[in-house]
């Protein structure tokens, strides 16, 4: 039996050194690094498609990519193939899993739900600086959650994305939006949001808007208005990419993704 011509790869990465996921000319990207490794191991005709086009500086706990090509290695050798790919990847990109997929599988088109998390620190931290957004102002977590409660459902998120006119549609169905304060880390706020897809910079602008609510500079009613009347205000509140992680991507038939330690990757 030979390996199928489509493989499903799950990988984690620190996006701090990359200009995002998607391959670009004269820019270092995660997709570009994975593609280069795949060419060496799987052949020059390989194609790589990712489930989420994370922005520059954004990280991932479990990005999913589909690898398409005329693979000839036995399916039993997928463990060795994964090792060979990891040997060629830089240390801040790691292939967690590699498995056979159906011939029609496409990481982006077939995804059922994408979950992002944003980490906000309410204290100065030496070790977690690269992976949080430190807010010096006092934050009202209850007010932030009240604003986040407005996000689930089908809404026009044109007020919360970059280049709204460039999207085919700014309507997004959000499954959940929660602000969590881990008991073991009371100075850490984690904003988690799940949807079938996201608009460009949508999560970062939603997070920045929640912080404005938390500081009292913005009211919950103002957020509600931004969901009904398009506004450019959130552009000024775009949160930095350092605190944003693509947490998981699920597909029909997948089990629930495992929980992630709130301290990861350092706080």
Instruction: Clarify whether residues 74 and 154 are in a common domain.
Output: no
pTM of the model: 0.94
Q: CB neighbours of 36 closer than 8 A, spacing ≥ 6?
A: 88
**Lookup: tokens for 35:** 């593609």
Closest to 151 in 3D by CA, of 239, 227, 215, 229: 227
Confidence of residue 51 (pLDDT cuts 50, 70, 90): very high
pLDDT for 71: 74
**Lookup: tokens for 64:** 């999913």
**Lookup: tokens for 265:** 């990757």
Helix (H) or strand (E) holding 39, with range, is helix 30-42
| Total structural domains within the chain | 2
Domain containing residue 122: CATH number: 3.30.70.660
Tens-digit pLDDT profile for residues 192-208: 999 999 999 999 999 99
The catalytically annotated residue of 14, 40, 45, 55 is 55
**Residue 265 belongs to a domain:** no
d(CA 259, CA 117): 12
Q: What is the DSSP letter of 254?
A: P
**Lookup: tokens for 218:** 């913005």
Cα–Cα–Cα angle for 37, 64, 156, nearest 5°? 135
pLDDT for 160: 96
- Statement: residue 267 has pLDDT above 90: no
**Residue 200 belongs to a domain:** yes
Average pLDDT over residues 217-235: 95
d(CA 19, CA 34): 14
Dihedral sign, Cα of residue 148, residue 150, residue 152, residue 157: negative
- Statement: residue 15 has pLDDT above 80: yes
**Residue 130 belongs to a domain:** yes
Find the domain containing 32 and state its range: 6-100
Instruction: Clarify whether residues 137 and 11 are in a common domain.
Output: no
Instruction: Clarify whether residues 41 and 125 are in a common domain.
Output: no
> Residues of the chain with pLDDT > 70: what percent?
97
Confidence of residue 74 (pLDDT cuts 50, 70, 90): low
Instruction: Clarify whether residues 38 and 150 are in a common domain.
Output: no
**Residue 108 belongs to a domain:** no
Closest to 148 in 3D by CA, of 169, 175, 122, 121: 175
pLDDT for 203: 98
d(CA 242, CA 14): 9
Average pLDDT over residues 12-22: 97
Tens-digit pLDDT profile for residues 165-224: 778 899 999 999 999 999 999 999 999 999 999 999 999 999 999 999 999 999 999 999
pLDDT for 1: 40
Q: Higher-confidence residue: 147 or 2?
A: 147
Domain end residue (candidates: 66, 100, 134):
100
Average pLDDT over residues 38-61: 95
Q: Is 92 a catalytic residue?
A: no
The CA-atom distances, in angstroms, between 210 and each of 72, 113, 190 are 50, 22, 12
Domain containing residue 58: CATH number: 3.30.70.580
Compute the mean pLDDT over every residue in the chain, rounded to the nearest whole number.
94
- Statement: residue 163 has pLDDT above 90: no
- Statement: residue 3 has pLDDT above 70: no
Q: Higher-confidence residue: 162 or 58?
A: 58
> Residues of the chain with pLDDT > 90: what percent?
89
**Residue 181 belongs to a domain:** yes
């Amino acid at each position: 039996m030979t390996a199928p011509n489509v493989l499903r790869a799950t990988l984690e990465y620190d996006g701090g050194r990359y200009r995002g996921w998607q391959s670009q000319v004269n820019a270092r990207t995660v997709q570009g690094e994975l593609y280069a490794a795949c060419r060496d191991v799987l052949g020059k005709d390989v194609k790589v498609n990712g489930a989420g086009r994370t922005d520059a500086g954004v990280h991932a706990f479990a990005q999913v990519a589909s690898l398409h090509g005329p693979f000839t290695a036995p399916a039993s050798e997928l463990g060795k193939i994964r090792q060979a790919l990891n040997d060629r990847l830089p240390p801040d990109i790691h292939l967690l899993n590699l498995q056979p997929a159906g011939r029609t599988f496409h990481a982006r088109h077939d995804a059922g739900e994408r979950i992002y998390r944003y980490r906000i620190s309410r204290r100065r931290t030496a070790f977690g600086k690269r992976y949080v957004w430190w807010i010096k102002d006092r934050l009202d977590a209850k007010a932030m959650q009240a604003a986040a409660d407005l996000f689930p459902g089908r809404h026009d998120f044109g007020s919360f994305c970059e280049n709204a006119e460039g999207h085919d549609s700014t309507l997004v169905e959000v499954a959940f939006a929660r602000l969590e304060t881990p008991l073991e880390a009371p100075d850490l706020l984690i904003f988690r949001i799940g949807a079938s897809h996201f608009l460009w910079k949508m999560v970062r602008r939603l997070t920045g808007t929640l912080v404005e609510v938390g500081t009292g500079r913005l009211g919950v009613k103002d957020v509600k208005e931004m969901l009904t009347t398009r506004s450019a205000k959130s552009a000024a509140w775009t949160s930095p990419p350092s605190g944003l992680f693509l947490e998981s991507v699920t597909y029909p038939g997948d089990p629930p993704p495992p929980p992630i330690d709130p301290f990861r990757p350092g706080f």
